[in-house]
Structure 1
């Protein structure tokens, strides 16, 4: 029997027998070939996402024991994924509060360096992904998430996170640019006379070389979006020096 409270289903536990779902084609092909693909960040992110979504069908608040249970089930099905160190099933699904805290400390330290180690940051972001998704789904505010995981403030960090959530054969940045380019003429047309930034765009276009115009038009289209949707432009775009007045992503 399932009890309901305020229209939401009661907290459910994972089934006694954990059935590992099928992974995306590129991951599943490597697993079927018995390749240890968990060391490839892009493939590991997909493994974590699929497992997390499987657990989310039962509960939005998995315990650490349940994370470990699922990790063990993965190892039973794909024993070649077993680590040679530690408990043998640490494929980043069984991260706990202590390990995540250690990762976050290093992550924050690297992000504040003049020359951060981007490869190390990407690895740490991948290791803390499932834990971070859990925190956000439990209601962590945007401002707190950006403070804890400062790499999300970097454009590359934000793009990587979208790619982890919605993996594809092409990157989010490429997909967005390709799709946005198709509607760009309409965006620029709609923005005429609706933004005080129009003059900046006109001046820049007049002074630019022909080969630079596509890039200028693309950036202008992004900058004009808030005015089209009647948003307060100062909350989304910064002209000149200074920090954004909002924790949300800002141009």
Structure 2
């Protein structure tokens, strides 16, 4: 039997994986391609390796023959070299009230969703010194610190700057997380009259973020500028200040980014036209297509967020967006998540427990669940069949109406009318006896946007990505199922769940 080639890979400093390839590739290009598939990485990269000749110091890899039998590799993302790649972090701001320079603001794109544990940043030297002294006094005598007005301003300004790196519109839960983390790191800031010790800080953070957004709006940041010109005393005829606010609602990290440096709507429109022509070729150049999709991301989001075009209009202007690779790439640009990898890993992780919950259900719902679980054959252990059965059972278990979402027809060539289907997954059956699946398609706003999808689970994954890419609402009859995918499988957005989802999450984690 041919022995596999074991390797250790540093994907990031916090993501170190042990994996293996069937054999050691013969050249560097083959190694890069194998690792991209094996690790499910949605971006291009180069490699470094620990060279035993130099005490395992990292060196750039140019020849596979340099690698030892048990190699340690490090992934270096090439997207970090481009301002349009969507992973540049925002620069530090000063205490002068100027958030960032014009050059920096055009490159500002968020790389991470809101963290599970907020890391309180360091403040200016004098404020850090006073906080350390205050913490020591609190530990010794339990005396809380009297915070001066200028000191509180510096603390709030720095917190707002750090929060803006994740979102321009933090929720009440986000503000509570920051306030709680602040007094946990600096207990001398606890409030005597507050039941939690941070109620006042939470309110101050909330108002400071409003002031910070005003500064960012004046500096030209698109994600807050889009909500400018609201009704004020001087403009009484403008739109109400709190109605129809355009902001991320599902933890989109790059909801509305600025144009790249040196670009404007006209220059990006010319790139879009080249992109449209390339996408309509019989065999488009995938590298050029990806590069132009990255470059025009800000223009695409501006159209989607501000103009809210129809799906058919988006298909005409952005045909490349409705391909499998670009659906996953666009989700990464919008939400900074590897949808394909995270979706399947989380689903497979919970499969056993979900099957137990489905089988334990009684009554009419239990009978329907058992019927949907019949295709699963434990002897063949077909993972695709298992995933499909789990995803078809999930809406029924959560009380959703999947009858108008999962639809089927005998043949696409028939005069089947899809105009009444706002969102759905269509299964086209053969005319054999018994009928078999011919192909699977995705329907949005009565139009087939993607077809020839091999499995139902892949279609649902792509559907979720398209909803994010096109900024669509979840289908009404499947809201619980899509929120389960978002908040439990992908851990995106505030973790405030409906009673049904909270009960299911407790059962999965219990």
TM-score range, shorter chain: 0.5 to 0.7
Note if 1:118 corresponds to 2:286: yes
Structure with the higher helix share, 1 or 2: 1
Aligned residues: 182
Pairwise CA distance, 1:225: 5.2
Distance 1:105 1:43 in 2: 25
**Larger radius of gyration between Structure 1 and Structure 2:** 2
Distance 1:129 1:230, change over 3 A: same
Pairwise CA distance, 1:227: 5.7
CA deviation vs aligned residue, 1:13-47 (integer Å, no higher than 9, x gap): xxxxxxxxxxxx9xxxxxxxxxx822784646994
- The partner residue of 1:127 within 290, 295, 304 is 295
Distance 1:156 1:214, change over 3 A: same
Q: TM-score, normalised by structure 1?
A: 0.55
Pairwise CA distance, 1:243: 5.9
Residue 236 of structure 1 is matched in structure 2 by 425
Distance 1:132 1:140 in 2: 11
1:1-251 to 2 correspondence within 5 Å?
Answer: 37-38=81-82, 41=85, 43=87, 47-50=107-110, 55-56=221-222, 58-60=224-226, 92-138=260-306, 139-168=308-337, 171-185=338-352, 186=354, 189=358, 194=368, 198=372, 202=375, 205=376, 210=380, 213-222=382-391, 229-231=400-402, 232=404, 233-234=406-407, 235-239=424-428, 240-241=438-439, 244-246=442-444, 247=447, 251=459
Asked if the contact 1:162–1:172 (Cα under 8 Å) also holds between the matched residues in 2, the reply is yes
Structure with the higher strand share, 1 or 2: 2
Distance 1:243 1:180, change over 3 A: closer
CA deviation vs aligned residue, 1:85-108 (integer Å, no higher than 9, x gap): xxxxxx824433332222222222
Alignment RMSD: 4.1
Distance 2:441 2:300 in 1: 25
Pairwise CA distance, 1:142: 3.2
Distance 1:102 1:134 in 2: 16
Distance 1:148 1:219, change over 3 A: farther
Asked if the contact 1:41–1:126 (Cα under 8 Å) also holds between the matched residues in 2, the reply is yes
Stretches of structure 1 lacking an aligned partner (at least 5 in a row): 1-24, 26-35, 63-90
Higher-RCO chain (CA-CA 8 Å, sequence separation at least 6): 1
Pairwise CA distance, 1:124: 0.9
Q: TM-score, normalised by structure 2?
A: 0.30
Moved more, 97-106 or 237-246: 237-246
Distance 1:93 1:142 in 2: 29
